Chains A and B, each alone.
Chain A
Amino acid sequence: MNPSEVSVIGANPGISPSLHIWGWEIAAYLFLGGLVAGLLVISGLAHRKSERPAESLAWRGPALVPVLLTVGMVSLFLDLEHKLHFYRFYLAFRITSPMSWGAWILLLVYPASILFALAAVGEFGPKLPGDWDLVTELAAAVRRPLAAVNVALGVALGIYTGILLSSLGARPFWNTPLLGPLFLLSGLSGGAALLILLEPSREAQLRLGMLDVKLIGAESATLALILIGLSSGGAAQRAAAQLVLGGSFTAVFWIAIVMMGLALPATIELFHRFKRAQASFYPAALVLLGGFALRMIILLAGQASRWGTLQ
């Protein structure tokens, strides 16, 4: 018999009946991590493929990466209950813990992306005040191999932000292998959007816009697959799917993520392409906002989802 009445003595606030351990800080961290991944992968690939990538890809994007990464790390740090014990992440590497991978990936991404930024700016960017010659020359020599490393690290970072959540089997909403790909695709799409904002050339903007449309398509498909998977799963998964399909997160999911974050920007970008019009600020901004909303809602809905009908 299903219980119709449940009362608990000794419930821990913030834990039961629903979990509230992670808030905007972690959403921001996941979002920025994804964005960094997107920037690294797209610009890194451009550096590999082309001798003279577009302005945004050549140096503006790579230069922004360490900044975004720092903001992301600060968000993560803000969430830590014991900030001074950050170093303890680096006392071990735990193969079963994506959190541990993440800590180590971050440790690699940071220097790699800084080096890449220096190389990119040194080669394509404006002249920096002061004497940077030695550094930039050195970086320039390894710019293309660095680009490859950054692409790989970008993919790892992007997937990891998803796997971090999907490995948490206690939360059915997160517990899908597609969460990693979803976050990677969303990060790539966000990266493309950000690059559009950084790109002075209309031509390149439109190319990035089309890339973004494809990424949005893939992201939407992945999202749909996740929801279909959940909806056709067991009771706990179905209940989890209900959170966005007919529950507390439904309105914000459909409006902020599906409409504003995916459908609308893709439509505008397609429209620009079709009209060969000047790409505007709006679709890119919507994609970025949608990307943050996606992290936030997945983060919250996952915490609200649980196994069993019990408290």
Chain B
Amino acid sequence: MARYAMTIDTRTCMGCTSCVVACKVENQVDTPFFRNCVVQQISGEFPDLRLVNIRENCNMCSEAACVANCPTGASHIEPKWGLVEIDESLCTGCKACIAACPYDARFINRKGYAEKCTFCLPRLKEGLDPACVATCPCQAITVGDLKDPSSKIASLLAMRKYWTLKPEAGTQPNVFYLE
């Protein structure tokens, strides 16, 4: 099994939300919902401020709490890509997965099913980059197989310092923020 992961370069990410719009259109995400978002964080005092843009989406956790808590198996690990995916044909809309996700990555769509970032699996299968990765003006996002040492993502993680969101929540997220 591959283990697809994502890096986001906080140095170059402008927080422009191009990825958010691209995702919404590509995946026909119901308004008012989004599969990804941009969090702008400010610390310090004017004018010595620090600004970090944190573009968030499903962390494709290795210990996916959403999968563990799903009563039907609708939320599952896609075996080939190592991605957490949702099978709508099994979903009851019980929301256990939403409550279980420390990243608030999910929502219930207008059809009544749980929805979240899929890493654009349909595009990956066609050999395309996810919509957000493809459009990011700053090329701040990389998606690839952690288990493939020759992948761009593996070398980025080898070269750069990185952090993850809420590691203390214990789900072993696979979205890495490059410093």
Q: Does B91 contact A (CB under 8 A)?
A: yes
Q: Mark A87-116, 1 if CB is under 8 A from B, else 0.
A: 011011010111110110000000000000
A-chain residues with CB within 8 Å of residue B71 when the two chains form the complex: 89, 92, 94, 97, 99-100, 102-103
- Decide if A82 touches B92 in the complex (CB within 8 Å): yes
Q: Mark B15-46, 1 if CB is under 8 A from A, else 0.
A: 10100100000000000111011111111100
- In the complex, which residue of chain B has the Cβ closest to the Cβ of A167? B69
CB A167 to nearest CB in B, in angstroms, measures 6
Range for the number of chain A residues in contact with chain B: 35 or more
B-chain residues with CB within 8 Å of residue A99 when the two chains form the complex: 69-71, 94, 96
Q: Does A310 contact B (CB under 8 A)?
A: yes
B-chain residues with CB within 8 Å of residue A9 when the two chains form the complex: 15, 17, 20, 37-38, 40
- Decide if A169 touches B170 in the complex (CB within 8 Å): yes
Once the chains are docked, how many angstroms separate the CA of A29 from the CA of B74? 23
Q: Does B65 contact A (CB under 8 A)?
A: yes
Once the chains are docked, how many angstroms separate the CA of A247 from the CA of B108? 29
Question: Which residue of B37, B93, B95, B166 contacts A85 across the interface (Cβ within 8 Å)?
Answer: B93
Q: Which residues of chain A have a CB within 8 Å of any CB of chain B?
A: 1-16, 19, 21-22, 79-82, 85-86, 88-89, 91-92, 94, 96-100, 102-103, 164, 167-171, 234, 236, 302-303, 306-308, 310-311
Range for the number of chain B residues in contact with chain A: 35 or more
Contacts A4-B43, A88-B91; A169 near B169 (Cβ below 8 A): yes
Question: Which residue of B90, B102, B112 contacts A170 across the interface (Cβ within 8 Å)?
Answer: B102
- In the complex, which residue of chain A has the Cβ closest to the Cβ of B102? A170
- Decide if B113 touches A82 in the complex (CB within 8 Å): yes
Q: Does B101 contact A (CB under 8 A)?
A: yes
- Decide if B169 touches A308 in the complex (CB within 8 Å): yes
B-chain residues with CB within 8 Å of residue A8 when the two chains form the complex: 37-40
Once the chains are docked, how many angstroms separate the CA of A9 from the CA of B21? 11
CB A185 to nearest CB in B, in angstroms, measures 23
Interface residues of B in 25-84 (CB under 8 A from A): 32-34, 36-44, 50, 52, 54, 65, 67-74
Q: Does B98 contact A (CB under 8 A)?
A: yes
B-chain residues with CB within 8 Å of residue A85 when the two chains form the complex: 91-93, 112
Once the chains are docked, how many angstroms separate the CA of A81 from the CA of B109? 9
Contacts A15-B106, A97-B70, A308-B169; A6 near B42 (Cβ below 8 A): yes
- Decide if A13 touches B168 in the complex (CB within 8 Å): no
- In the complex, which residue of chain A has the Cβ closest to the Cβ of B66? A170
Question: Which residue of B42, B100, B103, B104 contacts A169 across the interface (Cβ within 8 Å)?
Answer: B100
Q: Can you list 20 A-B pairs with a CB-CB distance of less than 8 A?
A: A3-B41, A4-B43, A4-B44, A6-B42, A9-B38, A11-B37, A81-B92, A81-B113, A82-B92, A82-B111, A88-B92, A92-B71, A92-B72, A97-B71, A97-B96, A99-B94, A170-B169, A306-B102, A308-B168, A308-B169
